[in-house]
Structure 1
Amino acid sequence: MKTILKGSKLNNKSILFLLSSIFFTLTSFAQEEQDSIKVNQLDNVLVSAVRVTTKTPVSFSNLDKKDIKSRNLGQDIPILMNYLPSVVTTSDAGNGMGYTGIRVRGSDATRVNITINGIPYNDAESQGTFWVNMPDFASSVESLQLQRGVGTSTNGSGAFGASLNMLTDNYATKANGEISNSFGSFNSRKHTVKFSTGLLNDHFELAGRLSTIKSDGYIDRASSDLKSYFLQGSYVGKTTLIKALVFGGTEKTYQSWNGIDGVTLKKNRRFNSAGMFTDEEGKDRFYDNETDNYNQDHYQLHWNESFTDKWSTNLAFHYTKGKGYYENYKEDASMGDYGLTPVGTVTTTDLIRQKWLDNDFYGATFSLKYKDEKLDVILGEGWNKYEGSHFGKVIWARYASQSELGDHYYDDFSTKVDGNVFLKVNYQLFKKLSLYGDLQYRTVQYKANSLETGLVDDSFSFLNPKAGLNFEINQKNTLYFSYAKANREPNRTDYEGGNVRPEKLDDFELGWRFNSDNFKLNTNFYYMGYKDQLVLTGELNDVGSPLRANSGDSYRAGIEIDATLKLSEKWFLQPNVTLSQNKNKDFYFTRDGVLQNLGETNIAFSPDIIAANRLTFMPVKNLQLSLLSKFVGEQFMGNIDSELSKLDSYFVNDFNASFEFKTNKVFKSITISALVNNIFNLKYESNGFFYTFDDDYSNPPAVKTMEGVGYYPQAGTNFLVGLTLKF
């Protein structure tokens, strides 16, 4: 809930969850061994809207349950995705729990489209993704696919760096259960219980999960107390699959998004300034409830129907309820800013405030799919609405004046309606050549009123065409080329910056796939040309969220290479590397009071080199040992190429071990897992901030001490060990 943004007074009317029938486009999702994702055929209908295969001219990576189970010990989904191509992850608490973030091809999380079973997960207003609201969700994920670039049309906000779609657990035919516990550094622990009834009367299944995660965090007081649940009911018929899902989570996280400056970084890497104040005796103290508190519940209903071998449909309804607040101690706050009248000559006061968000998000999707030997067509539409109430309370003040408990010092309200219709066609023109076309029309209407944004009443209409071809040279080699156009609306924080424009993207992708028994290779060249790209400025707002600004013309261009090599029956190698250039073409910046054209500059938080590797050794059956390595090149935290803003490169190595005992007694299997992160105890920072003041940064000081430059240190050597019992 990191971006609680101001809005209007809470509307307490009940939500009428009645939505018209809506079409939602789907792409074919073939059951190919090389895609390594196995889904029941009826479940396949559900995700084919957003999934692609090697027959689609798109760059992508797949992960399924077995790929992440040995590392699923409490860390968030972005951390579990850390070793995919072009991915950079970070953690506010420093150990992968609590608030975590992901960037793909240099694009931040607000530009990565996230869906769960085809339903949007990105926050409608901020467009961000807050994984802390769904702790241990990885334990209920059957598979996920990361499409880099624009990808194919999907529901929700446009993908400007990547799209990530997740499929939750498939139904089980036989009853089963699972108990999983893990413990580790910084007093971290995870406890998970799962169950499934199996198919009762060959048609009905009930499955669920309860989880709790707690950690003190690497950073001082960066504690997390997270709870989550997942409940799924399924009906399975010969041609019908109906799923009803309820899942969600509650989080209480001590704030740790302030970062630290360069001097503190050298003295005390774990220092956290959140909640710091000076008491009446002049002593520095920390408020013990400087926390973020949020509860989020999701409801989904899916109906998949296969009428014939060629025709199928998917109808889905969804509703998400979110409510929570930040709590902050504010020292010497202006009484007028909080609706308080002065007490005599006293115009400032220490106080404790809460900033609340109470929102509702609901909608529906419907798809119709036709598939024969040569033609795959999907036609559909999606509609979603967001209603958000933002308000603030003062729950304590040293000088309370006329205030009453429960008074609001601001009341704002916002709505966003997002609708789209799109058509996807994949046609086998010749035996070796297939053509792909994808056309989406999307409309957005956004209204908001607050002190920061002013009165906003904006609407957009976007036409997003995509086309490509796929050429199978032979059974082992495939070439593909695609072009995609994308448009995207600003988010709420962008409007706070004043005059903001929607952004446009032309994405060109050229790839080669090689597939043999012992060696798989994916090579992809991309050029992403932007108009008015909303790039990160390096600055943060008052609640730690990154700010963005239009940059005019810019581009991202690079090559992505990933491979899987079977060295022997016991040794496997999985390397990947991305080499890129990420540039603003003509970047303007006010320096010494004069607007200057700095020419071509590097885009903030966009390293030129990202590489990863997984070396796996399986000495005996059911024992797996892996060395995981990640290199991220140096990157600028601003857009003016200031040496002061450079974030150093880092090379981190983790060790993962897993051993499974098969038993025939009480438990079906017993699995012991261990994860040692940062085995060489590297001191590194994966994120930071940089305020581009109206100053000359051409000759920065040797030591980065200037206020306005900050870092988020990550933990040194730390570990997690887990035990999973299946029955």
Structure 2
Amino acid sequence: MKKLLISTVFTFFSFVVFAQEYTVSGIVTDSDGQPLPGANVILKGDGGTITDFNGKYSVSLNTGNQLIHFSHVGFEPDNRSIFVNGDLELNVTLIKKAETLDEVLVQAVRVSADSPITHSNLDKEELEKRNLGQDIPYMLSYMPSVVTTSDAGAGVGYTYIRVRGSDASRVNVTLNGIPYNDSESQGTFWVNLPDFTSSVQSLQLQRGVGTSTNGSGAFGASLNLLSDAVSNEANGEISNSFGSYNTRKHNVKFSTGLLSEHFELAGRLSTIQSDGYIDRASSNLKSYFLQGAFVNRNTLIKALVFGGTEETYQSWNGLEDPEKLENDRTYNTAGMYTDKDGNIQFYDKEVDNYAQDHYQLLWNQRFNNNWSTNVSFNYTKGKGYFEQYKEDEDFETYGFEPIEIGGDTINTTDLIRRRWLDNHFYAANANVNYKNNKVDFTGGAFYSYYTGDHFGEVIWAQYASDSKIRARYYDSNGTKTEFTVFSKATYSVNSQWSIFGDLQGRFLNYKTTGITSDLVEMIYDEDYSFFNPKAGLTYKLNPANQFYFSYGKAHREPSRNDYEQGITTPEKLDDFELGWRFASEKTKVNTNVFYMNYKDQLVLSGELNDVGAALRTSSGESYRLGLEIDAEIQLLKNLKTLPNIALSTNKNVDFVSSRDGELVNLGNTNISFSPAVVAGTMLEYSPVNKLYLGFLSKFVGEQYMGNIDSEASKLDSYFVNDLNIVYTLDSLPWVKEVVFSALVNNIFNVKYISNGYFYTWDDDFSNPGTVTTIEGAGYYPQATINFLLGATIKF
């Protein structure tokens, strides 16, 4: 018995000794000795942590041999095998991936983790989970203050994004630092770059004014995307997905890896097709991406060619009929006409058809640990049309002369028309960066030239009169030049305080000639000079808490549609941001308060023109005041949640509108398409290795489609949920891995509407001598429950 007791006690103490936990801690830095906040510290098996704002980490490990994996976006991973028999200090230096462009190419338009700019990041790994054919706006759906919508209802075809209530034409978008917004409309049309998500290495969304960028001013946010990095090793993949509404995506990707340790050739071919949730709202999309690269220790040169073609059946009319909205919500009026027997028919080629090709040359040069430069050149070619069947059109509109048939004068006709856009965009960009332990300075210049021809043709007419083949019934040209210079710097005063400053000058000229599709002469030659200063402070209270404040000023020129309405006054914005960031081993929280004060803000009126483009009106004085919170909370070792919420009030000040034939001051009204509450969450669970389950939720509060607070213009709030499943098979013969993905959208089958339009008109016919304002609205119903299933084979 005594021996048994002694043996038991010895075994117990042995277990305690050998199961003793010790602390391994240290700092993760880059090769310049700068701390890396947000680096992943992953333990073999389960658990881990991330570094705080000073690059510090601390983990608990049992005695014995242990493996720790250190990684950070844009850096080579570092696996450390250590023997633990006591508390240990382990400092790690991560080496920048020589092939990535983050440091030089996008440094001019991106900000770092501790910058006083409100921002969020997504990398390739996160994008791949839901990349089954939907456009980039849907990849951003669950980011703070983001609202997405789709004409066809299911995220394929024409899709749109709003950030803090600002539509896509006010979100500055750059691809590798080159502006993607159309120079005239200022919109971003992702349908022209199908499946571009598959060629994105990482992206950053800055909310508010953000830092200086190239192209049109950021009045709600700026989104910059970095295309695929150079791969060291040869690889390939084949991806296929299928889903509701006959949606399917197929792509192939390849990379030769580094040949002779310096050269790489990589590419992608993609096709996406969908019938759409809305009737006949089909999409037939094709795209390509090809890059050749040269890389050595200090030089990276890339030549990129990418683009796409799209043919989408029009669905921009929305649905105005309340009965159909209730009982036939997929009804599409586009292409509708009446045949000779009085039956309703639909023209089968009521389509938008456009091709866009991008050519980029990027040269990054690092001279030493302090100095680096980037030079890039771009040419974008776009050409296409949309086709429409029109009934009983006046001859006069198309330059036709009246004709006599059987003694009757004919001056109207059914016809098919095409409205064309043929444009060219040239850009050059040059930046220089200097960095040491105290200062991070970037300066640069940007120049672009755009020219676009707008014209219309009649390709068939029931009565063609004396028309000639390929004659243009309207013809207009727009040219735009832009020159931008900027300098920005971050200065570290000490270990706690840093100062950020940013100065930008934008100089523009926009010139138009000819007549518009409304047969109105459009002659403008406008110059704009904008000075946009920005400044901020960051204060690190301790390793877990960081505070920042920033101020930014921005100006924005009107778009072509604004000019067509006679609006030439630029917009002005003063943006104030106050934020707090918290980071611990299991929790990260970002909180910020913003106040955006506008002068002559061009807000959406709620109305559409005859081609479905949103019209805007000047609101005079207006503002947005809000609170944004987003977090990442590790609930269990294999369960985490990423919630976010944005609460805001968005007001026009003393808004004046025409009502019943008189101008009326409505006082402070809500800015259109600006919900007071936008919230989302992602609940991520990995019950076993290689299996990912994501439950995603989005709530968007009620919003007005106009600026007069009319109940007829109100969109109801909605709450939708998606389920995302990813399972990976590896250690397979002949292939590296096979990734199976599933996405069930709107899993609870909610009938919701995320977008629409609102209009008014004055009616003086019902009561002669009086004017009554009549209101109307249209809506874009979104898909009920639908799914996408995919498989990717990686070699």
TM bin, normalised by shorter chain, reads: over 0.9
1:172–1:198: 8 Å Cα contact kept in structure 2?
Answer: yes
1:29–1:53: 8 Å Cα contact kept in structure 2?
Answer: no
2:175–2:226: 8 Å Cα contact kept in structure 1?
Answer: yes
2:712–2:776: 8 Å Cα contact kept in structure 1?
Answer: no
CA displacement 1:42-91 (0-9 Å, x = unmatched): 51211111111122101101001111212100000001100000000000
Distance 1:300 1:544 in 2: 31
Structure 1 partner of 2:500? 436
- Root-mean-square deviation (CA, aligned residues, Å) is 1.4
**Gap regions ≥5 residues in structure 1:** 1-27, 697-705
Mean CA deviation greater in 339-348 or 69-78: 339-348
Structure 2 partner of 1:537? 605
1:46 aligned onto 2:51: no
Structure 2 partner of 1:309? 369
1:37–1:63: 8 Å Cα contact kept in structure 2?
Answer: no
Structure 2 partner of 1:71? 130
1:453–1:492: 8 Å Cα contact kept in structure 2?
Answer: no
> 1:264-275 maps to which residues of 2 (within 5 A)?
264-275=324-335
2:712–2:775: 8 Å Cα contact kept in structure 1?
Answer: no
1:150–1:507: 8 Å Cα contact kept in structure 2?
Answer: yes
CA displacement 1:337-365 (0-9 Å, x = unmatched): 01111112111000000001100000100
Distance 1:380 1:402 in 2: 56
Structure 2 partner of 1:185? 244
Structure 1 partner of 2:403? 343
2:363–2:375: 8 Å Cα contact kept in structure 1?
Answer: yes
> 1:18-57 maps to which residues of 2 (within 5 A)?
32-33=37-38, 37-38=73-74, 40-41=97-98, 43=101, 44-57=103-116
> 1:381-460 maps to which residues of 2 (within 5 A)?
381-449=445-513, 450-451=515-516, 452=520, 454-460=522-528
Distance 2:275 2:641 in 1: 35
1:152 aligned onto 2:211: yes
CA displacement 1:129-182 (0-9 Å, x = unmatched): 000000000000000000000000000000000000000000000000000000
1:263 aligned onto 2:323: yes
Distance 1:707 1:95 in 2: 29
Structure 1 partner of 2:793? 725
- 1:707 Cα deviation from its structure 2 partner: 6.8
Amino acid at match of 1:38: G
Distance 1:212 1:274 in 2: 25
CA displacement 1:289-347 (0-9 Å, x = unmatched): 00000000000000000011100000000000000000000100111101111112111
> 1:245-644 maps to which residues of 2 (within 5 A)?
245-261=304-320, 262-344=322-404, 345-449=409-513, 450-451=515-516, 452=520, 454-644=522-712
- 1:420 Cα deviation from its structure 2 partner: 0.4
Gap change, CA 1:337 and 1:352, over 3 Å in 2: same
Q: How many residues align?
A: 691
SS in 2 for 1:544: coil
CA displacement 1:453-494 (0-9 Å, x = unmatched): 621111100000000000011111000000000001000000
**Which of 723, 728, 746 is 1:660 aligned to?**
728
- 1:281 Cα deviation from its structure 2 partner: 1.4
2:285–2:309: 8 Å Cα contact kept in structure 1?
Answer: yes
Distance 1:680 1:154 in 2: 40
1:122–1:157: 8 Å Cα contact kept in structure 2?
Answer: yes
Could you say which structure has the greater relative contact order, defined with CA pairs below 8 angstroms and 6 or more residues apart?
A: 1
SS in 2 for 1:640: coil
Gap change, CA 1:539 and 1:559, over 3 Å in 2: same
2:392–2:413: 8 Å Cα contact kept in structure 1?
Answer: yes
Distance 1:230 1:445 in 2: 32
Amino acid at match of 2:653: K
Amino acid at match of 1:263: E
1:613–1:630: 8 Å Cα contact kept in structure 2?
Answer: yes
Gap change, CA 1:499 and 1:661, over 3 Å in 2: closer
Gap change, CA 1:62 and 1:321, over 3 Å in 2: same
Mean CA deviation greater in 650-659 or 453-462: 453-462
Amino acid at match of 1:457: D
Distance 2:469 2:34 in 1: 56
SS in 1 for 2:760: coil
1:340–1:402: 8 Å Cα contact kept in structure 2?
Answer: yes
Distance 1:695 1:73 in 2: 48
Distance 2:231 2:36 in 1: 19
Structure 2 partner of 1:94? 153
Aligned sequence identity (%): 61
Amino acid at match of 1:442: R
Distance 2:596 2:179 in 1: 24
2:255–2:267: 8 Å Cα contact kept in structure 1?
Answer: yes
2:760–2:775: 8 Å Cα contact kept in structure 1?
Answer: no
1:591–1:695: 8 Å Cα contact kept in structure 2?
Answer: no
Distance 1:724 1:260 in 2: 38
1:189–1:213: 8 Å Cα contact kept in structure 2?
Answer: yes
- 1:263 Cα deviation from its structure 2 partner: 2.7
- 1:31 Cα deviation from its structure 2 partner: 5.3
Structure 2 partner of 1:700? none
Structure 2 partner of 1:712? 780
1:653–1:679: 8 Å Cα contact kept in structure 2?
Answer: yes
1:370–1:376: 8 Å Cα contact kept in structure 2?
Answer: yes
- 1:412 Cα deviation from its structure 2 partner: 1.1
Distance 1:29 1:340 in 2: 71
Distance 1:217 1:453 in 2: 38
Distance 2:293 2:110 in 1: 22
Amino acid at match of 2:754: S
Distance 1:502 1:453 in 2: 22
- 1:498 Cα deviation from its structure 2 partner: 1.6
- 1:30 Cα deviation from its structure 2 partner: 8.2
- 1:568 Cα deviation from its structure 2 partner: 0.8
Amino acid at match of 1:348: T
- 1:404 Cα deviation from its structure 2 partner: 1.9
Mean CA deviation greater in 339-348 or 536-545: 339-348
Gap change, CA 1:139 and 1:662, over 3 Å in 2: same
**Gap regions ≥5 residues in structure 2:** 1-32, 41-71, 76-96, 765-773
- 1:663 Cα deviation from its structure 2 partner: 2.2
